Amino acid sequence: MAVELKDLTKADDNYSQWYNELVVKAGLAENSAVRGCMVIKPYGYAIWEKMQSVLDKMFKDTGHQNAYFPLFIPKSFFSREASHVEGFAKECAVVTHYRLKNDPEGKGVVVDPDARLEEELIVRPTSETIIWNTYKNWIQSYRDLPILCNQWANVVRWEMRTRLFLRTAEFLWQEGHTAHATREEAVAEAEKMVHVYEAFARDWMALPVIVGRKSPNERFAGAEDTYTIEALMQDGKALQSGTSHFLGQNFAKAFDVKYVDRDGKLEYVWASSWGVSTRLMGALIMSHSDNNGLVLPPKLAPVQVVMVPIYKGDDQLKVMTARLDAIAAELKAKGISVKVDDRDNVRSGFKFAEYELKGVPVRLALGPRDMENGTIELARRDTLTKEVVSQEGLAERIEALLDEIQHNIYEKARSFRDSMITRVDTWDEFVKTLDEKGGFISAHWDGTVETEVAIKEATKATIRCIPLDAEDEEGTCIFTGKPSHRRVLFARSY
């Protein structure tokens, strides 16, 4: 597949356009013929697969099992939990019929009006309802608890304005759904999983996130408490990157799920749910990339090292490719993924630009002088620097370099993020900071939904979270002047 190497829009000129072009030109994803649904292309899917495999292991290491629940949910299920229906039974894909037939007028196929479903089916926007309807049959006694299930699935929310990875009608995700005997256990589970997400973002995506609680107005529909990881994009907007919910007994009550406890008493079951989605791809792209294209953390890069021979004529190409293959074998032996690009129909400058666009962390170029000297040119994608190094000890050098790049990308994102958290104590400062600097604003809030909504209407900024490590501090709400006991984080967000 030919890569479009025309210049990317500069991120500074138009961040939103830069992002869209980058996703498409780097071969990550593209829009499809179906409104709001994307095609995830092989290179983008390879990154998602790496994320999946790491997360899946983290879930299993914390005692979870995978299962699979139906794509369709009967419409009536949504009405069972009062706040859930408000949040999710709105913009969704509704299946009303189960058959097509040949058009009597000979124009292709039409919906068969005789094949109308008695009750419409909703393509799952999230699966709490169908899963708790199932758990009802799985749970009788405390011995059946906890249930710690996760599912990898596609979900559909009929979003009006969509953007590749960040907000699409169909997206891929995992959703954990757990059932517990006690409130404490369910709360602990919700907290544990938000920390799993935090660790994944930090250690694999090189993404520093702030862990906190959502304010009541931003909670998941049906949750008693929502934990979130919030990341900061390079344009100063926040991106909610994963959430974990303590659901109380809301779904157990809606679907009548009770268990007999150790004392023989019948009690409602406690619940958590938690999820991350292909939105993480958007977070990954927007956190690290630059005007030359993607910058990928080595731990998630499908190709970690690319090698390009700089040659004249077939004979030279042959000798050089042999040398590069030998180096590649050494790298592979260390578990490093490598590609040798010996294409003869594009110039090496084209190849360089292509791998920069695709965010390959390390590039090696071997020229005729290198062949004589036993050297090779080594270029880093994160810093865009290059140096000529000895071929001797190259595998060890690259192994260490990949760690260094992973670390550097994280530190860069963290220092940017830290520089973009501004403590603000007045409304004027708040508005000015939002408009001129962006980022997170740490400010006092009076704790009411009314104020939260009023601030959002005035500025488009929302409370991203109440950080778990927020210290008690007396102050006054920037909007109402009423008393407040701790700062919360505001930002404009995706």
| Residues of the shown chain interacting with its own copies in the complex, contacts defined by CB under 8 A | 1-2, 30, 32-34, 37-42, 45-46, 48-49, 65-79, 85, 89-101, 108-109, 111, 120-123, 130, 133-134, 137-138, 140-141, 143-144, 147, 149, 153-154, 156, 158, 170, 172, 345
CB atoms within 10 A of CB 359: 28
Beta pairing, strands 386-390 & 483-484:
unpaired
Task: Please state, in angstroms and as integers, the Cα–Cα distance from residue 409 to each residue in 249, 364, 399, 406, following that order.
Answer: 42, 20, 16, 5
* Residue 273 or 375 with smaller CB distance to its own copies: 273
Residue 195 C-beta: closest distance to its own copies, Å: 23
At its nearest, how many Å lie between its own copies and the CB of residue 134? Answer: 5
Q: Which is nearer to its own copies, 262 or 312 (CB)?
A: 262
Contact 218, 83 (CB under 8 A): no
Pick 11 or 147: Cβ nearer its own copies: 147
Q: Which is nearer to its own copies, 141 or 373 (CB)?
A: 141
How far apart are CB 270 and its own copies at their closest, in Å? 17
* CA distance between the termini of the chain: 31
* Angstrom distance (rounded) from CA 33 to CA 23: 17
Whole-number Cα distances in Å, 443 to 323, 451, 454, 460: 59, 13, 15, 16
Which is closer to its own copies, CB of 270 or CB of 440? 270
125/212 with CB nearer its own copies:
125
Q: How far is the CB of 466 from its own copies (least distance, A)?
A: 31
How far is residue 210's CA from residue 84's CA, in Å, rounded to a whole number?
26
CB 20 to its own copies: min, Å: 16
> Which tokens sit at 280?
């993480």
In a 13 Å sphere around the CA of 13, the CA atoms on its Cβ side amount to 8
Q: Which of 193, 164, 212 is nearest to 48 (CA)?
A: 164
Whichever of 117 and 470 has its CB closer to its own copies, that residue is 117
Give least dist CB 474 to its own copies, A.
Answer: 43
The residue (of 94 and 453) whose beta carbon lies closer to its own copies is: 94
Compute the least distance from the CB of residue 101 to its own copies, in Å. 8
CB atoms within 10 A of CB 441: 26
Quick one: 123 or 233, whose CB is closer to its own copies? 123
Q: How far apart are CA 454 and CA 355, in angstroms?
A: 47
Token pair 């865009």: residue: 384
Chain-centre distance of CA 27, in angstroms? 18
Q: Which is nearer to its own copies, 4 or 446 (CB)?
A: 4
CA 142 to chain centre: 35
Supply the minimum distance, in Å, between the C-beta of residue 460 and its own copies.
Answer: 25
Q: State the DSSP code for 128.
A: H
Q: Which of 417, 490, 433, 422 is nearest to 460 (CA)?
A: 490
Question: Helices (DSSP H) in 161-296: which residue ranges?
Answer: 183-203, 250-254, 279-288
Q: What is the largest CA-CA distance in the chain?
A: 83
Return the amino acid letter for 138.
W
Tell me the three state secondary structure of residue 237.
Answer: coil
Nearer to its own copies, 133 or 406 (CB): 133
Q: Compute how many other C-beta atoms are within 10 angstroms of the C-beta atom of residue 111.
A: 13
Q: How far is the CB of 98 from its own copies (least distance, A)?
A: 4
- Nearest approach in angstroms of CB 207 to its own copies is 22
CB of 94 to its own copies, least distance (A): 4
Q: At 342, phi and psi to the nearest 5?
A: -105, 25
Round to whole Å and give the CA distance between 198 and 114: 51
